[in-house]
Each structure stands twice: as structure tokens, then as C-alpha cells.
Structure 1
Amino acid sequence: MKLKYLLILFLLPILLISSCKREEDRIFDTNATVRITEAVQNAYTVLQGNKAGWMMKFYPSKNQEFGGYTIFTKFISNEKVSIASDPIAGVETSSYAVVAESGPVLTFNGYNKSIHWFSEPGMDNGGVVGDGGIGPDDSGMQGDFEFILLKATADSVVLKGKKTGSHLVMLPLKNEEFESLSKTYQEATNKFNQFLVYKLETPGSEVVNLDFDPRYRVFSNPNDQATGTMSFRVIPGALEFYKEYIIEGKSFDRLNYVQPTSAYPNGYYTDKSNAIKIVPATAPLNIWFRNNLWSMSYSNTGPTGKIYWDRAKTALKTNGIVVNNAFIGKLTSNIGLIYVLQNGAVVGGVSHFIDPVKGTEDQIYIELEGYVIGNFPIAYWTGGINNITTPFNGRTFKITSDGTPNPTALTLTDIGIPTNTYKVFLKDINDPFNN
């Protein structure tokens, strides 16, 4: 009997400890749920508490290879948010939520171009800054639209992208800054996007064209690989860089805009010492041609080209194919000869290499690449369209214009066949076989 009671006495503390532990676990679980619920409610309160709205610097990719942007938000209720960003015109209202996961998560769950553009596939995100899709076809700029809320107070909201892990800070706006600042940033972006070429001037080196793709907010100096790429945001009156960079011993993280002078008709961006200058320049004709979409027509084609257009017209009529417009150049991320057919039912064509000739500003080389663009059936190619392409394939053209910056009409003359000429226009020409 004593052994029995001794066993009971021995086991009793263990049972009591186990019972207490289970009770503590239940209390802990309840507290965790309460804490997350309170954090979600606090986030709603903070986000809506600043009626003027919020602004954040946004580098969509964790590696900053696409550069940076500025996003403005105004949280109207528990469901609605107005968003503006510098590359997208205007303001759009959509839905959002703060949801409980392992912690509170801010999700922009209703489509809004001003933020979802950064997460769209590259095949879909073109046409905003005027120069094609950005990033890989399947992932685009890889930006976030769902963020873990790390901190939410009246002076700042700290976020962490669920996909990229990048940290972002939303800062409070004042008064009417949501409307006025977002518009000012958009205007600054439009002004920056007018130029396709930027040059670097420094005291110790010759002027060089920076490596710059108009789709990306990134510069790199072809003569200075050590500095690497320089990511930046376009802000009113300046370029603000992701971090401090050094060129020829001069460090900078911001270059302020200087208004045009006789020496710099487009103005320039410079550091405090005026030693580093990034100068916007009018695009050479071959780059201007490559980065736009140009209308073609029979009447503006030279004698050699007309031979092929005549063959095309006969074949297209036989095959019941109607050509409403004919273009050459760039449409979003696609480059080549592109058509509107069957009264708009078909828009597409076949890709071409359109490459500026190295060492020139007015020569372009064109060659068939062969990828289908848009909803273009290959039967349309063999049904007559291929004839229009033939006199372009494997040819180098000299480009001339009226001499004005960013001309709206250009003339292409084949260097090897002077009668192979084309005058092309930025404006649309309808019914190209009869115009």
C-alpha cells in the first residue's frame, strides 16, 4: 500500500506541472491571436489616421536593376485606397486589406495600375513609359503588392515585401500633398522620359554616352565597370540615387537639375561641386527610329519597294487579307514589321532586328528575326505580307530628317540600293496600299 501511495505522491507534481503547462499554452495562444488582431486594427487606424496620405520610395526588384519609383497612397476606409505613382498618369482608387497571417499583412488586393504595374509580366507592362516591356516576359520588374507590416505609427509605416523581402518605409504627407506632389512627380518623370540618351561629363575624362535603356532607371558608365550600375529615382528637380556612388573621386547620392543654357540647351543634372554632370541629349536618328513605331504606305515607298508592295497587294487580295495599317519599329516590347489586319481583328507581325550601326548616328541595320508578334497567323505571312518585308531584310539604311529634334517623319535610304527608300511617319496612315 505504501508503494501505491508513494507512486501517487510522485506522479502528482508531474500531473500538476503538465496541467499547468497546458493551461499556459492556451493562454499563450489566446494572447497571440489577440495581439495579431490588435496589430491589424492598429494598422487600419494608422493608415487611415493620416488623412493626407503617405509616400514611399519603391525599388521593385530586390537587386534594384530596374531603378526606383515613387508611390503615393491615401487610405479612405477599411476597403478603399487611392494610389498614384510617378510613371502612371492620374490617380486610381481600388481595394486593399490588412489581413492576419503570422503577423499583419497589407495587401493591395484590387487591381490598380499604379502599383500592380511593377509586378506584371514583362509581356504586359509595356507602353507606360513609352518604350516597351520591362523585365523578363514572365516576371517583369518582380515588384511586391503584398507587404508584411513591421511597424505602423503616425510618423512612419515600415513594410517588408512578401516576395522580395525588401524593406520599404511609408512617410506621412501633409495637407494636399497627395494630389499636388503626385502630379509634380509625374511631370518630372514625363520630362525625364523625353530623352533617350544621357551623357556623362567629368573634369578628367571625355564626354561619354552612358549605357541607358529608357525602360529602366539605371545608368552605367561604359568606361568604368568598377562603379557598376547606378539605380535612381526621378524626383522634381533632381535624380535621387539608391545609394552613394563615386565617380573620379566625387561621391554623390543626388544630382540636382540645372536649367538650360546656351551650352546645355536641355539643361543637366549635377552634384554640389558641379564636377559630375549627367546631360540629357537629343536622340540620334537611328535610336529615335528604333524606339518608335512608324507608319508606312505605298505612296511613300521608293521604286524598289513598290515592286514588292505590288506583289503583296495581288497576293493579299487573292487570299482575302485586308491591310488597315502597316508599321515598322517598336510596339511595347516588340520590334519589327507590325500590321493591323482584317479591320482590327488581327494586330501583329514578325519580329526583326533593328540595330543602330555602331559608330554612326544615322544608319540602321534591319534583318528578319522571325518571331510572331501578337495574334498574327503565319498564313498571313505566306499569304502576301512577306513581300513587304523582303526589301528590308539584311539591308543597311541611312536615315534623314527635317533637322528638328525628335522628328515626326524620317526617310530611310538603302546604302546599297538607292532606289530602295521609305518615308515613314509617327502619325497613323490608314489604308496604306491606297495612301
Structure 2
Amino acid sequence: MKKYIIKSFLLIFISILITSCEDNETRVFDTSPSERIDASIDQYSTLLNSSENGWVLEYYPESNQQFGGFNYVVKFEENEVSTVFYEGADDITESKSSTYDIIAYGGAVLTFNTYNEYMHEFANPSGSLYQAKQGDYEFAFQSNENDEITLRGIKSGNTMRMLRLTESPEEYLTKVNDVEYTISLASGIAVNGEDYSVNLANRHIAFSIEGEEDINMAYIFTTTGIKLYEPITFDGNEVKGFTLDKTLNQLISLDGTIVIDLIVAPFNVNQDWSIDTTDFSAISVGFFNKYVEVYNANIALGETLQRSISIGTISSGSGIGFYSLAPPTQIWTAEYNLAFSPIMGESDQLAISPVGEGLNWSYYRHLNPLLIYILNNAPYIAEPNTPTNPTEVKLTSTVDANAWFVIKL
């Protein structure tokens, strides 16, 4: 009998404890989880609509940020229409509109739910990138503080931010593109007066420090310089970004502890340039002979090498790309990664050096003779057709003046 009494008291105690916990939970959360998510959706919807000039979205595709960061400006209307501006557009004053929504998906999630040419660029597959660039168009809201909204890309898992814009999208993106153009021409040669090779291509800053881990961090352009995806540590100091000083040709860390001296290239090679081998006024005899050699080697494989060669920006960064037609209609891409860099004291010259095999190159190593021809004749004297934003550049070898080729946009 005593055991039954004790057991009864124990059950009553547990029941009271559970009820007490439920009461405490009720006091902590006066609403259900779904009600809290609905409230969060309403809060973020009101917040997004509240910015007259829209929001700057600092966007990073791909889970390892291999393509770097890109600026969007998005205006959100109460009728669930979004107007999108993009720093990579041919005309930054032109916007693209589509719909958006904020949905419940384990929390409040911003989704661009109809196709937008700009917003879906990095999520749109192509022949050479069947998985696209693994970009996001759905973003989970993480936090909001001081006109800065933190997001997480649903696909990539990347942390991204939206900043309230206080000027027009056109004004903001013009400043960003001005900084981008200057830095796209530059490489770093010294850090705090010490000789280093600093690579700023592909929206990454990379350099090596003896005795420390190599630094390679994605960044995004701002109106004043660059902002890093994550802070880096240099000489014991945490660095989150750099300000560009055009007069001194320097990138200066926000806390002033790091100064990167820059040299500037004669033109921006990190664009979609091409070499037209059908135009005999655009390639030297030596270049054409090497092209014929690799063309015939490709024919021996049963494929036809296309006459246009990509150089500058390629799918995996910067380098050279060839296209091969496998009958009846399959086009294969073969890429080799290259580093293009300016030369200290030679403002009109461009160095080209190998980085490594890229997309499908291991299957197309018979293209090496033309690649080696280009590399062995570097560096090149650059002759742009205009001083700024050229559309055509003649590159003449400093090793052999008879070796040259023209690249065009």
C-alpha cells in the first residue's frame, strides 16, 4: 500500500512539473510558432517596403564564394513587385521587374518567385554550366539591425546582407563600377612596403605570407573600395575591407594597418575578349600557323575546333577557352587558367603566366602548342583602340615583334 501511495505522489509531482513547464513556456512565448513566423513576415515586408531608394543586396553565389560578390539594388513595392538593378548590367540605369514574396519556410524567407534576368543570372544554367553558378534566389532572414538585414542563401548557405540605400540606384552603382574598373586594372606588388604578389582578380584577394597560411578571400566592390566576405588576419590585425586611394594607387585597410601598393594594367583584361582566327589582320603568321597545328590535331579526334578563341574571363575565372564541335551538334569547352598582370614600370605592358588546367583541358592537351606560343612570347605591349574602356587591343610580343594577336569584345 505504501508503494502505491508513493507512486501516486510521484505521478502527481510529475504532472505538476509538466504543467509548470507548459505555463513557463506560455509566459515566454505568448504566441505559437506559426504566429511568430507570420509576425516576422509582416515585419520584414514592412521593412523592405520602407526604403524609397531600395536596398543594396551584397550577393555571393556558390557555396565557396568562388565567383566573388556582386551588387544588386532592389526596390520592393507593396504589390509584391521587385525592381532590380545590377552592377554587371550593360546599362546600370536599366532595371528588370518581377514578383517577390516572403514565405514561411522554417522562418521568414524572401523569394524572387518569377524569372528576373538579373536576379536569376547566377541560377540560370547554360551549356557549359549545367548547374549554373549555384546562385540563390531565395534567402532566409537572419536578423535586422541599424538598416542592415542579414540573410542566408537557401542553396549556397552563404551569408549576405541588404543595406538601406540613401541615394539612387544609378548613383550608387556608378560609384561601384568606377571603383571596380580601377581595381580590375590593378595588381598588388607590396604589402606594408614588403614585396608580395597580390592577386585581385576574380573578386578575390590572394597573397602568401612566409610562415603563415595563404590568404585567399572573396570580396565585393563598394563605392569606396572592397569589402571582404569574411575578415582576414594579417600581422595580428583583423581586416574587413580596404579603401581605394586612386591618387596614391593604394588599397588601405579600414583600420589603416595594411597598405597594398598597386600597379595598374594598360586595360581591363578580365572581360569577355575573343580572338578571331578567321580575320588574318587580327593574328600574326606565327599565331595562325600554331592555330592550324592544333586545329588539325583536333580534327584527328573527330572534332572541329571553332575559329573563335575566348581569352580573359572564362567560366572558372581568367584564362583562355577553346570550343570544339563534336558532330552533330555537341559543343565542348576546353579551358586553361591564366594570370594576367601589369608590369612594374611598364604601364603599357601585360604579363601572361600559367595557373593550371581548367575545364576539360586534360582531354584537349593537343591544344598546348598554341597555349605555349602565347605564354613563351609574353609579356606583350598593349595597344588599346581607346584610352578607357577599349573594345579592341593589339598585343605585340616583347620577345618577338613578329608575334602578335588582336583581342576584341
TM-score, length basis structure 1: 0.61
Partner of 1:82 in structure 2?
83
More contact order relative to length (CA 8 Å, sep ≥ 6): 1
Q: Counterpart amino acid of 2:164?
A: P
2:7 match: none
Report the 3-state secondary structure (helix = DSSP H, G, I; strand = E; otherwise coil) of the residue aligned with 2:82.
strand
Look up the match of 1:12.
Answer: none
Cα deviation for residue 270 of structure 1 reads: 1.9
Q: CA deviation at 1:77?
A: 3.1
Residue 137 of structure 2 aligns with an amino acid whose one-letter code is F
Match for residue 247 of structure 1 among 220, 234, 253: 234
Q: 1:172 to 1:190 in 2, by over 3 A?
A: same
1:27-70 residue CA offsets vs partner (Å, 9 max, x unmatched): x9x95555444443343333213333223444446665654444
Distance across 2 between alignment mates of 1:57 and 1:369 = 28
Kindly provide the CA deviation profile for residues 328-376 of structure 1, in whole angstroms up to 9, marking residues without a partner as x: 63563276564699xxx9795663647579xx97576799999489xxx
- SS of the aligned residue for 1:45 comes to helix
Which residue number in structure 1 is paired with residue 276 of structure 2?
Answer: 295
Q: Hey, what does 1:225 align to over in structure 2?
A: 212
Q: Does 1:184 align with 2:175?
A: yes
Counterpart amino acid of residue 392 in structure 1: L
Distance 2:149 2:358 in 1: 48
Larger relative strand fraction: 2
Q: Equivalent of 2:223, from 236, 241, 246? A: 236
**Cα drift, residue 107 of structure 1:** 0.7
- Which consecutive residues of structure 2, in runs of 5 or more, have no partner in the other structure? 1-15, 24-28, 344-349, 385-389
Q: Which residue matches 1:392?
A: 370
Is the contact made by 2:179 and 2:244 (CA closer than 8 Å) also made in structure 1?
A: no
1:47 aligns with 2:48: yes
Local SS of the residue matching 2:203: coil
Matched, 1:410 2:395: yes
> Aligned to 2:162, which of 155, 159, 170?
170
Contact map agreement 1:96 1:110 (CA 8 A) in 2: yes
The offset of 1:71, in angstroms, is: 3.3
- Asked if the contact 1:50–1:172 (Cα under 8 Å) also holds between the matched residues in 2, the reply is yes
Residues 329, 148 of structure 1: alpha-carbon distance in 2 compared, 3 angstrom cutoff: closer
Partner of 1:97: 101
SS in 2 for 1:171: strand
Which residue is equivalent to 2:311? 329
Matched, 1:209 2:194: no
The count of aligned residue pairs is: 366
Using structure 2 for the length normalisation, give the TM-score. Answer: 0.64
Matched, 1:106 2:110: yes
Q: Which residue of 2 aligns with 1:424?
A: 405
- 8 Å CA contact 1:329–1:336 kept in 2: the answer is yes
Whether contact under 8 Å (1:298, 1:306) holds in the other structure is no
- Which whole-Å CA distance do the structure 2 matches of 1:147 and 1:289 have between them? 29
Q: Find the aligned partners of 1:218 and 1:72 in 2 and give their Cα distance.
A: 24
Q: Which residue of 1 aligns with 2:74?
A: 73
Flag the 1:222–1:161 CA change in 2: closer, same or farther, 3 A.
Answer: same
Determine helix, strand or coil for the equivalent of 1:226. coil
Partner of 1:145: 137
Distance (whole Å) between structure 2 residues aligned to residue 242 and residue 304 of structure 1: 41
Question: CA separation of 1:283/1:148 partners in 2, compared to 1, >3 Å: closer, same or farther?
Answer: same
Q: Deviations over 1:143-178 (max 9, x none)?
A: 43212334568945443433455554433333x433
The Cα RMSD (Å) is 5.5
Unaligned runs of 5+ in 1: 1-16, 126-136, 429-435
Q: Distance in 2 between matches of 1:103 and 1:96?
A: 16
Structure 1 CA distance for aligned equivalents of residues 278 and 73 of structure 2: 44
- CA distance in 1 between partners of 2:192 and 2:221 (Å): 21
Residue aligning to 2:243? 256
The 1:109/1:290 distance shift into structure 2, 3 A limit, reads closer
Relative to structure 1, is the Cα distance of residues 215 and 88 closer, same or farther in structure 2, using a 3 angstrom cutoff? farther
Partner of 1:181, secondary structure, is helix
- How far, CA to CA, are the matches of 1:32 and 1:163 in structure 2? 24
- Structure 2 vs 1, CA of residues 325 and 340 (structure 1 numbering), >3 Å: closer, same or farther? farther
Contact persistence 1:210–1:222 (CA under 8 A): no
2:55 alignment partner AA:
W
Q: CA deviation at 1:96?
A: 0.8
| Cα distance in 2, alignment partners of residues 243 and 117 from structure 1 | 24
2:334 maps to 351
